[in-house]
Amino acid sequence: MSKIIISSAIRGAHAIVDRVEGKVNAAIEKFGADHEVKLPNTAYYLPVVYGMTGYKVEKIGDMTTVIKKCRELLPEVPAENCWLPYLGPGLDAGMAACFAFDVEEALKYLEDCPYLPMKEDPEETDADIWLGAADDVILRKRGVEFIDGSAPGFAAVVGAAKDVETAVAIAKELQEKSIYVFMASNTNGVSFAKQLEEGGVQLGWNTRLVPFGYDTSAAIHALGFATRAALTFGGIAPGDFAGNLRYNKNRVFAFVLALGEVDDEKYAAAAGAINWGFPTIADTDIPEILPTGVCTYEHVVSNIPQEEIVSKGIEVRGLKITITKIDIPVSYGPAFEGERIKKDAMQVELGGPKSMGFEFAYSKPLDEVEDGKFEVVGPDLGDVEVGGLLPIGIWIELAGRKFQEDFEPILERQCHHLLNGAEGVLHIGQRDIVWMRISKKAYDAGFTLKHFGTILHAKMHNEFGAIVDKVQVTIYTDEAKVKELLGVARKTWHERDNRLADMIDETTETFYSCTLCQSFAPTHVCVVTPERPGLCGAYNWLDCRASYEINPHGPNQPIEKGDTVDERLGKWKGVDEFVVPASGNAFESFAAYSIMEDPMTSCGCFEAIAACLFASNAIMVVDRDYTGDTPCGMPFSTLAGTVGGGLQTPGFVGISKFYIGSKKFISAEGGIKRLAWLPKALKEQLKEIIEKRGEEIGIPNFYDMIATEENGTTEEEVMAFMTEVGHPALEMDPLM
Ligand code: SF4
């Protein structure tokens, strides 16, 4: 707790109350105690006083009661050697200052009012921009925006920016985020509102840039607005100060930006705002109040450069940004998620089997992520010929006060449906098997790679605002850079895949569904167990659980597995009961561990496909990267067309590569012992886990018993190889 801040706030509050008391006495002398006093067109009297105490100030004489209340609240100014001016007295002093400001601003309406529209001759002074208190019509019209979410909050800007350009930039950043800007006070005679006016910026409620007043006391109109919002929209009774303050802390996301020197009076105002849960972010080197308590997070944060002050304010207040319009030159919506882009309609292809394509999301500390920053490193769409090909790496940096590392894969997996929502953008795959196409139409409309950032930023804020505060996106198309970062991503994926090492299905009562891919394959359901990840390879049991925590009504629902129907096949009563409605009544039963009997459905996102080789009594697995012939007679693309789309196809099943290392990998048919063929690159990629499984099944050289395209691409060639190496599948029960 800062002794300096609290002492200054208390000192400032004393000075304010003394000054206002003098003004009240002078007004009584001039107009009489019974003279009416009120803010324009409001039923809320002096709103802060009325909201907090229920007391109605209707005449000047009533103001003396308010001053008396201020005196009761004011703590003594701490002595130099007193080290215990805790937050409580500071908050009381702040509230006393607020009551006094409420009175002081109301007195301005008695004569020579500096505020529009009551001022008689706007040309007389330079005060012709100031609006003073909002009336009840404005309150209802604008206040509802804070309730329905169209305005996420307000920034009370006190003082002035270092120059006009910075003031304009700060205002623009706040406007872009739909945040209201309430302006008051000045720094050495210069006010933020005047700076904006000088910068040619249009002020007023319509532009959400509201100049309340030149004096620091005018900042009370921001708190008056918030207090009235609680009375009007929150159903809080006048005088229920705790309810009003709590409502504001939880529902009105506001913060104070203190620009320039902070004097005692501003400290008092800041202490007042803390009562409402509104923290202060200062650009100067003032002491800080960092522990949480009254505010959601820190109370006073200082020394923030003006260029970063908006983002810091949003972070410290825990304000959630909603981006209502995705600023891209093509339409956006779920209707475009299933859109296909044929070769002749394609401007550029990204990633896919002929190049490299990946997407990767990870979290960083808040101060290392710049929200809304999008960059393209490498050639853009216009730098390649029509129908050309580029590698792509979509690199997403995330930060949030409530973000956990466990959430990274969930956000990463959203790229698929979020990017597919743009008209003229096709996205297939995940992790390192990303394949995209941009249509000629989208390119002609002005779509560039940067717009991937625009989409991901907007949608991640909107759909995951509870955990995401900042999203920064870099699109890499520079081949060397894509290759380098793909290595980094693969290392992390490996670590993510291994987190479940000790969990087994038998001792886990709750599995999770995933229906994220139903936008493409409406009957598809992944049932994700600790030993059977989703077939895309991007969602394991932990990821689904984390996703459910983030969004309990989302695509990942818990499934109580219930009684075991068939242990060998991996069938449970709870799973079957879940699958029927979840697949739209298309399927009655799922076997988690079988390729032959009721195998799980395959959507199209599978990393690989397992297929039976009946003549050899074995199975083969082929992944997307392998485009050649396979022993089952079909290349990957034909197999994918046959197996995908949400079908249950006995003899074939879409799987994640990592699942091959699971003890439950087609265990109903004998497990990995059946595996007789893999593409060479995939075999090498899985070397470690296959060797480990070989040890576990008592065949240490099992890795060498698996054929690749180098040994043959027909079933006869594979069979000859199996016979040569003594493959165990030859001795197993027949597959059919
Ligand atoms: S493949 Fe399965 S686990 Fe992966 S996103 Fe689609 S439905 Fe979810």
Contact between residue 721 and residue 615 where contact means Cβ atoms under 8 Å apart: no
Given the CA of residue 413, which atom of ligand 1 is nearest to it?
5
Pocket test for ligand 1, best of 337, 539, 542, 655 (most atoms within 8 A of CB): 539
Cα(624) to centroid of ligand 1, in Å? 16
- The candidate with the shortest Cα–Cα distance to 208, out of 142, 293, 281, 132, is 142
pLDDT at 119 > cutoff 70:
no
Write the residue with the smallest CA distance to atom 6 of ligand 1: 517
Residue of minimum CA distance from atom 5 in ligand 1: 516
Instruction: Give 560 Cα–ligand 1 centroid separation in angstroms.
Output: 19
Q: What are phi and psi of 512, to 5 degrees?
A: -130, 145
Q: Is the pLDDT of residue 377 over 80?
A: yes
Q: If you measure from the C-alpha of residue 567 to the centroid of ligand 1, how many angstroms do you get, rounded to a whole number?
A: 24
Given a contact cutoff of 8 angstroms between Cβ atoms, the answer to whether 56 and 62 are in contact is yes
| Structure confidence by residue, pLDDT tens digits, 393-433 | 999 999 998 898 988 998 999 999 899 999 999 999 999 99
Q: What are the residues whose beta carbons fall under 8 Å from the beta carbon of 340, sequence distance 6 or more?
A: 426
3-state secondary structure (DSSP) of residue 380: coil
- Among 415, 431, 535, 647, the mutation site with the greatest number of ligand 1 atoms within 8 A of its Cβ is 535
Closest ligand 1 atom, residue 524 Cα = 7
The confidence score (pLDDT) of residue 81 equals 64
Helix residue ranges per DSSP H, 308-374:
309-317
For residue 84, what pLDDT is reported? Answer: 55
Ligand 1: residue whose CA is nearest its atom 1 = 536
Q: Which two tokens stand for residue 12?
A: 């400032």
State the closest ligand 1 atom to the C-alpha of 416, by its place in the atom list counted from 1: 5
pTM of the model: 0.72
What whole-number percentage of the chain has pLDDT above 70? 97
State residue 85's pLDDT score: 53
Q: What is the pLDDT of residue 519?
A: 79
pLDDT of 263 higher than 80? yes
Tens of pLDDT, residues 454-480? 999 999 998 888 889 999 999 999 999
Query: What pLDDT is attached to residue 117?
Result: 66
Tokens of 13: 């509050």
Output 488 or 407, whichever has higher pLDDT: 488
Dist. CA 485–CA 540, nearest whole Å: 23
Whether the pLDDT of residue 120 is over 50: the answer is no
Edge to edge, what strands does the sheet with 180-184 contain?
Answer: 209-213, 180-184, 153-159, 253-259, 280-282, 300-301
696-718 mean pLDDT: 97
* Distance in angstroms (rounded) separating the CA atoms of residues 259 and 163: 11
- As a whole number, the mean pLDDT across the chain is 92
What is the CA(417)–ligand 1 centre distance, in A? 11
Q: What was the pLDDT predicted at 356?
A: 96
- How many other C-beta atoms are found inside a 10 Å radius of the C-beta of residue 1? 17
- Return phi, psi of residue 599, to 5°: -65, 160
Q: Which atom of ligand 1 is nearest to the CA of 535?
A: 1
- Cα of 513 vs centre of ligand 1, distance in Å, is 9
More confident residue, 452 or 402: 452
Whole-number Å distance between alpha carbons of 723 and 704 = 13
Number of the ligand 1 atom closest to the C-alpha atom of 605: 1
Question: The tokens of 452 are what?
Answer: 């991937």
CA of 384 to the centre of ligand 1 (A): 33
pLDDT at 79 over 50: yes
Residues with CB under 6 A from ligand 1: 413, 514-517, 526, 534-536, 538-539, 603, 605
pLDDT digits (tens, 9 = 90+) for 292-332: 677 878 888 999 999 999 999 998 988 877 777 899 999 89
pLDDT, residue 122, reads: 42
CA of 132 to the centre of ligand 1 (A): 55
Which ligand 1 atom is at minimum distance from the Cα of 515? 7
Residue 125 has pLDDT above 70, yes or no: no
642 CA from centroid of ligand 1 (Å): 18
* pLDDT for residue 500 is more than 90: no
pLDDT in tens, 658-692: 999 999 999 999 999 999 999 999 999 999 999 99
Interval between CA 410 and ligand 1 midpoint (Å): 11
Q: Check residue 123 and give its pLDDT.
A: 47
In this predicted model, what pLDDT tens digit does every residue of 183-230 receive, in sequence order? 999 999 999 999 999 999 999 998 999 999 999 999 999 999 999 999
First CA to last CA distance, the chain = 75
> How many Å lie between the centroid of ligand 1 and the Cα of residue 527?
9
pLDDT of 499 strictly over 50: yes
Going from the Cα of 516 to the center of ligand 1, the distance in angstroms, rounded, reads 6
DSSP 8-state assignment for residue 114 = -
Q: Which one-letter DSSP state was computed for residue 206?
A: G
How far is the C-alpha of 160 from the C-alpha of 166, rounded, in Å? 10
β-pair partners for 357: 392
Q: What is the CA radius of gyration of the chain?
A: 33
Q: In 276-337, where does DSSP find H-type helix?
A: 309-317
> What pLDDT digit, counting tens, does each position of 552-583 carry?
888 999 999 999 999 999 999 999 999 999 99
Closest residue CA from atom 8 of ligand 1: 514
Band of residue 596 on the pLDDT scale cut at 50, 70, 90:
very high
* Helix or strand holding residue 280 (H, E): strand 280-282
pLDDT at 379: 98
**To test ligand 1's pocket by mutation, which of 359, 411, 413 has the most ligand atoms within 8 angstroms of CB?**
413
- Cite the beta strand spans of 530-660 per DSSP E: 558-560, 564-566, 571-572, 608-613, 618-623, 652-655
Listed residue (553, 532, 557, 535) closest to 544, CA to CA: 557
Q: Can you give the pLDDT at residue 126?
A: 52
Distance CA 121, CA 388 (A): 66
Closest residue CA from atom 4 of ligand 1: 536
Whole-number Å distance, alpha carbon 668 to ligand 1 midpoint, is 22
| pLDDT score of 654 | 96
Higher model confidence: residue 525 or residue 406? Answer: 525
The pLDDT of residue 80: 65
CA nearest to 180, candidates 158, 209, 214: 209
